[in-house]
Chains A and B, each alone.
Chain A
Amino acid sequence: MSNLLKKALRLSLLPAVLMIAGKFLGLFVLIAFYSIQFSVGNEISGIFSTQIFLPDSETTLFVNSISDLVMISLLGLITLYMILQTTILQSAKHNPRTIAKVVKFNMLKWVTSSTSTFLQIFIWTTFVVISSIITITNSLQGDTYLWVGITAGVISLLSIWGLIKTFEIETEKIYPSSSKHSYF
């Protein structure tokens, strides 16, 4: 079995668990906090047959929107943190001004080392994109607030942009641009 596959399997576990946990926590924390009456049924046939029933459409819309927001925020914030850490560290290596700015904003401990790899960021971004597709679909069907759908879209686009940036950094390591090297 290839090392890449082993690593991909290991790295996919945490975002997969967090995606479910984010939705689940968002749902049940709201139900508990607002003391919303709910029931669990199993009337739907298929692989997963459990459904959560809420008493009225306004409550359903509110609970679904906030739980979607919790899920996308949880995945999105971690992904954006990893992207920022990687890009700032790489920029600091080449640009002393970045180091000065990082010290000024007291962020040095954030970027002294980056454990995030391109594969890790790719996997996390994929989960962010999947969550965004679910949230945007819900938003278009009127099951989630429109602003939650827009937020999900923005987080997803930022993550994709960060992923491309990380890809550029990785390729720069392998094929450095000729302008940065002197052959004399």
Chain B
Amino acid sequence: MITKNKQSKVRNLLGKFLEPIALGVLALLFIIPTLTVINLEPITKNIREFTDVLGVATNSKVIVDLVGGTHEVLSVEKISKNGDSGYIYNAMLTQRESDFYSKPILQIGNNTDEEKILTFLGTTLNPTRSEIGLIINDQVYTLQHSTGQSESVEILLKPRATYDIYLTIESLVGVQFSEEFEMKIGIR
């Protein structure tokens, strides 16, 4: 009789300890599939422009790669073709405190033996007192001033060279909402 009482006490005690763990496991059964499904979403990478040489698409000219990855301010990065020789880079700039942020966004490689001129024109829909720019080969370029005025950036891409493009955001004041950023890339 005493043993049965002891057994039930141990069982009750064990149940009390197991209950919070079981609740955690139950929560994980909902969280893990959600995160896995989000993680399984494919992303576009290696957008290549091919040249047809007698019908054979082998000689690639300019390669535009999306770097991807996660960042505290830049999210939902996308790159798509814009006409025959251009691309559009889209990203979401999330709410942020006044600070300086930067992220590698693109890798552009010139696989030809001639120089290429790259033009970048990027803006947000509304001016948010944030200065947006690019860092290419340790050179700083401004795309959009804090007043909202945007300017085009033109760089020379040397033959057989690959450049890493960094996007920089310098917010003078905290921004409390997300905004869309679009940058047109021209290659000639």
Contact = CB atoms under 8 A, between A and B. Distances in A.
A53 B35 contact: no
A8 interface: yes
B76 interface: yes
Nearest to B14: A1
B26 A53 contact: no
A85 interface: no
B29 A9 contact: yes
Interface string B24-43: 01100110111111111111
Contacts of B15: 1
Nearest to B15: A1
Given A52-B42, A55-B47, A56-B44, 5 more contacts: A5-B23, A23-B37, A48-B36, A60-B43, A134-B37
B45 interface: yes
B3 interface: no
Interface stretch (A110-118, A123-131, A159-167): A123-131
B37 A2 contact: no
Interface of B: 15, 18-19, 22-23, 25-26, 29-30, 32-48, 67-70, 76, 78-81
A71 B76 CA distance: 22
A23 B32 CA distance: 13
B180 to A, nearest CB: 11
A52 B43 contact: yes
Contacts, number: 107
B45 A54 contact: yes
Contacts of B39: 48, 50-51
Contacts of A182: none
B37 A43 contact: no
A143 B18 contact: no
Of A8, A12, A41, chain B has the most CB atoms within 10 Å of the CB of A12
B30 A54 contact: no
B45 A39 contact: yes
30 contacts: A1-B19, A5-B23, A6-B22, A8-B26, A16-B29, A16-B30, A19-B34, A19-B37, A20-B33, A20-B36, A20-B40, A23-B40, A38-B42, A41-B45, A43-B67, A45-B70, A48-B36, A51-B43, A52-B41, A52-B43, A53-B45, A54-B44, A55-B48, A56-B47, A57-B79, A64-B41, A127-B30, A130-B30, A130-B33, A142-B78
